[in-house]
Chain A
Amino acid sequence: MKRIAVIVALAAQASIARAHDFWIEPSTFRPSTGQLITASLRVGQEFIGDPVPRNTQFIDSFTFRQASGEKEVVGMENRDPAGYLRVDSPGLTVIGYRSKANPLSLDAAKFEQFLKQEGLERISAIRAQRHETAKPDRENFYRFAKAVLRNGDGKGARFDQPFGYRFEIVPETDPTSNAPLRVRLLFEGKPLEGALVIAMHRDDPTARIQMRSDKSGRVKLDLPKNGVWLVKSVQMVAAPAGSNADWESMWASLTFER
């Protein structure tokens, strides 16, 4: 009976529409010099995503960094994969995607559930304080996705150098190495404390880690196995007046293979 209840609860949870994660999936995380690779955009949950074709209307910047400098990720409009890039130097390549604002609305119950899932109880508390718990959500959301690729040995791009996104997951150790991963969360250039960071393995849903960032915005993630990982965090703040939304959500992600 208990087991049935658990299954029903899981099924109910799975069917709830909510704001979804967003990440970059390159055709390979281990390119070689001179290789042309694709950078697909994905929207989904539990690391299962739908392809997102390139749509200029939503893209604020889509670039990649390697030893030779920073370049545009090119692509064809309305096509998946959204981007193409050529890896021309050894070491790390970091791809970054920043979206424009996108409006989203959720009914109150779904929004409250989403806040809990993403560790944004702080926003729930503000809503409760304002007696707005039953109010539907009107938000603008932004995507800040990054992917780190490795081409043999060599330094390549600096993984610890921020792209300067409004909300960003910045690695402090090389994500492609086997050392425990340290990342720092930066919100408007400053460390963000208490943000929930979730790491998930692409092929093993049980290998999942959740932690809160410390005072200096840092999190140390002991990733239990090799493979492709997605590290994500959501930040939310009140939307500025006149923006036609109550909240602004910022979705940062980092994908890599180790």
Chain B
Amino acid sequence: MGIAHLRALTGGALLLLLASAAAAHEIGTTQVTARFNRDHTYEIDVVTGPASLLTKIEHRRINPAPNLQPLLQLHEKELAGAAEIRFGGRRVQPEVTVLPNDTIRFHGEIPRNAGPFTWRWGLTFSSYALTIGPQQQWLDADATSSPYPLSRELLPPSRTDVIRQYLVLGFTHIVPGGLDHILFVLGIFLLSTKLRPVLTQVTAFTIAHSITLGMTIYGLVSVSPRIVEPMIALSIAYVAIENITTSHLKPWRVAIVFGFGLLHGMGFAGVLKELGLPRSEFLTALITFNAGVELGQLAVIGSAFLLIACWARTRPWYRPRFVVPASAVIAATGIFWTVQRLI
């Protein structure tokens, strides 16, 4: 048990003490549970009889009966108005969902840099328990709860956190995570010893995968990984085989690299979807992940240049002894993956 746990426990004990010292009406049937989730959302479930709730909202007598629950959905505004949810004093407007079993759920996103959570429910006259994780406090009718500080991991990350995190994720998805992407980029690099063809291909590839990464994440395109993944493998084989046959940048090669870039973008999107994007910083995360991927590619090309090309590219043996065998290995790997990913 860590210190944080210990602190949480003693905090709970303190809350209980405070609660027993506070004033109390009769204990009613209402129960409230607040949850804060890892995806930076909150859910507050109010369990209470619909008849007395409707009586209070409609200012006319509603007798208990089955099927009253759906009527509450008509009073979303009043319910949201009665639920005072604050983070550090700032009130948030929750969404309201009426669930079966006499439950009304208030939910929404935890704001960035959220201060301690407080709760107040204006539609009860009796005392009730507010449960947050292992802690419970008794609230008297429309009293405000004691502030509940949220632990750091529950708060949405700040923009700088998101930038750092997704830049690293994008980078590590290439180096060392994505051997297939590394081989593709090396394939592009090995074509020519001149800067210009490499730069043209890298630019085409980058523009293409940025387009499909964004479009896939926003749900504008969707291609099954069962198609995308073998095609990515095939693209690796293609550029490597072409490296063996020519050292000139043919116009169609740029178009083909662009097309393959579209496929790789969908692959990146699949990974990014699995990692998840913070709702509060969706675009920031998308852009920085893409930038991280870019940096990863540049790192691959930069390393290859520094390790071999910068001193060996002018040597006569560079192409026959290095580019061709290396491309052959890359091509073989690409073909092997294509077959593997197809079956």
> Which residues of A are at the interface with B, using a C-beta cutoff of 8 A?
15, 17, 19-20, 22, 41, 43-45, 48-53, 55, 58, 80, 102-106, 143, 202-203, 205
Contact = CB atoms under 8 A, between A and B. Distances in A.
Contacts of B140: 17
Interface residues of B, number: 24
B67 to A, nearest CB: 19
A106 B52 contact: no
Contact of A51 (B22, B28, B56): B28
A52 B142 contact: no
A15 B26 contact: no
Interface stretch (B118-126, B153-161, B185-193, B259-267): B118-126
Contact of B28 (A52, A104, A143, A203): A52
A50 B26 CA distance: 10
A43 B124 CA distance: 9
A43 B23 contact: no
B126 A43 contact: yes
Nearest to B122: A15
B25 interface: yes
Given A50-B29, A53-B28, A104 B23 contact: yes
A50 B124 contact: yes
Contacts, number: 68
Nearest to B27: A55
A17 B142 contact: yes
B141 interface: yes
A53 B125 contact: no
Contacts of B143: 17
A20 B141 CA distance: 10
B52 A49 contact: yes
Interface in B185-212: none
A22 B26 contact: yes
B30 interface: yes
Nearest to A143: B26
A52 B126 CA distance: 8
A203 B29 CA distance: 23
A53 to B, nearest CB: 6
A53 B29 contact: yes
Nearest to B30: A50
Interface of B: 22-30, 49, 52, 55-56, 59-61, 122, 124-126, 140-143
Contact of B125 (A49, A80, A102, A202): A49
A102 B30 contact: no
A53 B27 contact: yes
Greatest chain A CB density within 10 A among B30, B56, B125 is at B125
Contact of A103 (B24, B30, B125, B126): B24
Nearest to B64: A51
B27 A52 contact: yes
Contacts of A15: 122, 142
A228 to B, nearest CB: 9
Greatest chain B CB density within 10 A among A17, A22, A80, A202 is at A17
B17 to A, nearest CB: 15
A43 B29 contact: no
A15 B60 CA distance: 18
Nearest to A141: B25
Contacts of B52: 48-51
Nearest to B61: A203
Contact of A48 (B24, B25, B27, B56): B56
Contacts of A49: 52, 125
B26 A43 contact: yes
Contacts of B56: 48
A115 to B, nearest CB: 16
A78 to B, nearest CB: 9
17 contacts: A17-B143, A20-B125, A20-B141, A41-B26, A43-B26, A43-B126, A45-B125, A48-B56, A49-B125, A51-B52, A53-B27, A55-B27, A58-B26, A102-B25, A104-B24, A104-B25, A106-B23
Instruction: Give me the 3 closest cross-chain CB pairs, A-B, nearest first.
Output: A44-B125, A50-B126, A105-B23
B25 A20 contact: yes
A103 B23 contact: yes
Contacts of B30: 50
A102 B24 contact: yes
